[in-house]
Amino acid sequence: MAGLKGARERWVRTGGIELCVAELGDESRPTVLLVHGYPDSKEVWSEVAHRLAERFHVVLYDVRGHGRSTAPTPLRGGFTLEKLTDDFLAVADAVSPGRPVHLVGHDWGSVQSWEFVTVPRTEGRIASFTSMSGPSLDHFGHWIKQRMARPTPRRIGQLLGQGAKSWYVYLLHTPLLPELAWRGPLGRRWPKILQRVEKVPAGDYPTASLPGDAAHGAWLYRDNVRARLSRPRADAYAHAPVQLITPTGDVFLSERLYDDLGAWVPDLTRRSLPAKHWVPRTRPDQLAAWIGEFVGANEDRSTKAPKTTAKSGVRPEYAERFGGQLVLVTGAASGIGRATAFAFAEAGARIVAVDRNGEGAARTAEMSRLIGAPAAWGETVDVSDEQAMEKLAAKVASDYGTVDVLVNNAGIGLSGSFFATTSEEWKKVLDVNLWGVIHGCRIFGGQMAERGQGGHIVNTASAAAFQPSRALPAYSTSKAAVLMLSECLRAELAGQGIGVSAICPGIVNTAITATARFAGVGEEEQKRRQQKASRLYGLRNYPPEKVADAILRAVVRNEAVVPVTPEARGAHFMSRFAPRALRAIARLEPPA
């Protein structure tokens, strides 16, 4: 069986057809039932299924008329949601008699699973439901009705937006044409189209049964869509906990479809994933992690921890996006790095806090666990040491997993005129500020790219990257290099779903002033200037927490260059529209 090695196969007879059912994993474990979409067969789940099989009893079946399951005759009227529910119950009873199953649906698999989870006759058979890219037709019907009934400009926009994304649904309602296209040229070209447009990795998916699946599956639409959207059920309330995973780049479904979902689902967990429609192929690691976590939490309801209310200041969109992800922050023992680690921790991410100050890194990890990180580790590494970084990367990859968000934040300050700066000092600044970022991007970014399941890299540059100054030649040079490195890397990684952001904070109250070097002055004067700079930055008092918030926002929105403080924004604006004014400012002698 292509893509489902080691699966045990059986046939389930129901309502005059035969369903092909595959099973993986230990049957004594909780059962996770994966339902595929259109135009697919159960093999769409192969990557996710193998990952889940380590912990669960995983069951997949070909929906009637798809893959190796037989098709009903006649086709018309053979694909109604009622009949699909019969199929589900037959499979569930065969593979998990007497014990409820954890349902997972993608695309049409999710659409029909919504029916399963909202009709009374399945009550007690479903322990949880994870939905991706497939709304309930009943909820969808109400969604349309509400917007038609009170058409504000925004609601009209939402209707038109989803209306445009549903173009293929209209085409599928035409007679014969879809069948001809799928059995003809479209069926042949589909694998290439998926690779090019949806970035689905090449391999043994889609399977050879695709033309038949797609031709039969057109009846899923014809038998249900018009009927349900025009007369949606009024009692479509979910009787099991639901986890909704929303791919933010889905070209077929608007995120707005789920705005009112809270009214239908009493126990709803939301997740968001920056990916396109075919997430079971493009993001299997993340899906397996979220499904595993959700199934685990709902398997034994008695031990389930009560849902903690989100603390004030934690935005739900951060928790939806970063929950359970692995975030590595360098320079995490203080300042912006530490605040960033805490912000990700609050959103429920797992944290690797890296710093050459091991005590501080450990402290960051400890506090991260207290505020919501499911796990956090402190690591003592100097980012300018390539070998140490390689060792760290190997350890992280083997012990904690592949990094989802990398924050290259470690940096040191150096002030003083160009001629006062020795080559030793130049080397030191470039080693940490530039080479540290290069090592991070090359080693951890490389792992990310190799995994091929997206991610994000954040590099801390500085407002000094575009504001020249006679007082900060070395520091500004290093940060300008980081900015350009980020831009180049962003271009290179864009095709792989990996975003790169450069953060330009400006004057922020952190410990960088206390450790900054001042070139060309004695030790006594060093101390005095450090103290003075610290006091000045303290007076400015821009908190690193706000920079951390800007970093999370930049990752969610995939922003390229993010100036943070007002002075950084001003300098960024002037660098584009009034560079001569910036050069005049650069000539000012800083007070000693």
d(CA 446, CA 464): 28
d(CA 486, CA 491): 9
348 sits near another protein (criterion: CB under 8 A): no
313 sits near another protein (criterion: CB under 8 A): yes
Rounded to 5, what percent of the chain is helix, strand, coil? 50, 15, 35
Stretch that binds another protein, among 42-50, 100-108, 177-185, 307-315 (CB under 8 A): 307-315
d(CA 361, CA 310): 25
Closer to another protein by Cβ: residue 509 or 558: 509
346 sits near another protein (criterion: CB under 8 A): yes
Stretch that binds another protein, among 55-63, 115-123, 387-395, 538-546 (CB under 8 A): 538-546
Closer to another protein by Cβ: residue 40 or 549: 549
409 sits near another protein (criterion: CB under 8 A): no
Closer to another protein by Cβ: residue 128 or 330: 330
Among 75, 119, 297, 367, indicate the residue that binds another protein (CB under 8 A).
Answer: 367
356 sits near another protein (criterion: CB under 8 A): no
Q: Which of residues 226-245 bind another protein (CB under 8 A)?
A: none
> Would you call 315 helix, strand, or coil by DSSP?
coil
Among 241, 360, 436, 468, indicate the residue that binds another protein (CB under 8 A).
Answer: 360
100 sits near another protein (criterion: CB under 8 A): no
Closer to another protein by Cβ: residue 193 or 536: 536
For 105, 126, 240, 253, 259, the CA distances from 263, given in Å and listed in that order, are 21, 20, 14, 20, 9
371 sits near another protein (criterion: CB under 8 A): yes
363 sits near another protein (criterion: CB under 8 A): yes
Shortest distance (Å) from residue 315 CB to another protein: 13
d(CA 257, CA 111): 13
Closer to another protein by Cβ: residue 214 or 352: 352
Q: Say how many residues touch another protein, by CB under 8 A.
A: 18
Closer to another protein by Cβ: residue 99 or 540: 540
364 sits near another protein (criterion: CB under 8 A): yes
* Residue located via tokens 């998916």: 205
Residues paired with 24 in a beta bridge = 58
Strands 17-24 and 8-14: antiparallel
307 sits near another protein (criterion: CB under 8 A): no
Among 6, 266, 543, 566, indicate the residue that binds another protein (CB under 8 A).
Answer: 543
Closer to another protein by Cβ: residue 312 or 423: 312
Residues paired with 8 in a beta bridge = 23
d(CA 259, CA 237): 15
Helix axes 185-197, 210-230, angle to 10 degrees: 80
Q: Which of 61, 258, 475, 542 is an active site residue?
A: 475
254 sits near another protein (criterion: CB under 8 A): no
d(CA 469, CA 583): 8
Shortest distance (Å) from residue 200 CB to another protein: 40
- Give me the amino acid identity at 338: R
Shortest distance (Å) from residue 573 CB to another protein: 27
d(CA 432, CA 412): 7
d(CA 258, CA 265): 11
Stretch that binds another protein, among 58-66, 242-250, 275-283, 361-369 (CB under 8 A): 361-369
Shortest distance (Å) from residue 311 CB to another protein: 5
d(CA 245, CA 423): 52
Nearest to 291 by CA among 455, 456, 49: 49
Stretch that binds another protein, among 17-25, 297-305, 365-373, 568-576 (CB under 8 A): 365-373
CB 223 within 8 A of CB 79: yes
Shortest distance (Å) from residue 513 CB to another protein: 12
Closer to another protein by Cβ: residue 311 or 580: 311
Closer to another protein by Cβ: residue 290 or 342: 342
Closer to another protein by Cβ: residue 136 or 364: 364
Shortest distance (Å) from residue 527 CB to another protein: 13
For 239, 333, 340, 479, the CA distances from 353, given in Å and listed in that order, are 41, 7, 10, 22
Strands 101-106 and 57-61: unpaired
338 sits near another protein (criterion: CB under 8 A): yes
530 sits near another protein (criterion: CB under 8 A): no
311 sits near another protein (criterion: CB under 8 A): yes
Residue 280: asked if its preceding bond is cis (omega within 30°), the reply is no
Among 334, 408, 433, 513, indicate the residue that binds another protein (CB under 8 A).
Answer: 334
Nearest to 338 by CA among 388, 378, 374: 378
Task: Read off the DSSP letter of residue 201.
Answer: P
Is 237 part of the annotated catalytic residue set?
Answer: no
For 95, 97, 231, 419, the CA distances from 32, given in Å and listed in that order, are 10, 13, 31, 67
Stretch that binds another protein, among 103-111, 247-255, 363-371, 495-503 (CB under 8 A): 363-371
> Would you call 49 helix, strand, or coil by DSSP?
helix
Q: Exposed/middle/buried for 312, CB within 10 Å: 0-12, 13-18, 19+?
A: exposed
340 sits near another protein (criterion: CB under 8 A): no
Nearest to 191 by CA among 70, 59, 43: 43
Nearest to 459 by CA among 290, 296, 310, 330: 330
Between 205 and 224, how does the x/- string for binding to another protein read (CB under 8 A)? --------------------
Q: How far is CA 574 from the centre of its chain?
A: 34
Residue 74: asked if its preceding bond is cis (omega within 30°), the reply is yes
449 sits near another protein (criterion: CB under 8 A): no
Shortest distance (Å) from residue 243 CB to another protein: 25
511 sits near another protein (criterion: CB under 8 A): yes
Stretch that binds another protein, among 157-165, 209-217, 360-368, 455-463 (CB under 8 A): 360-368
Binding residues vs another protein (CB under 8 A): 309, 311-313, 334, 338, 342, 346, 360, 363-364, 367, 370-371, 511, 538, 543, 545
Catalytic residue list: 475
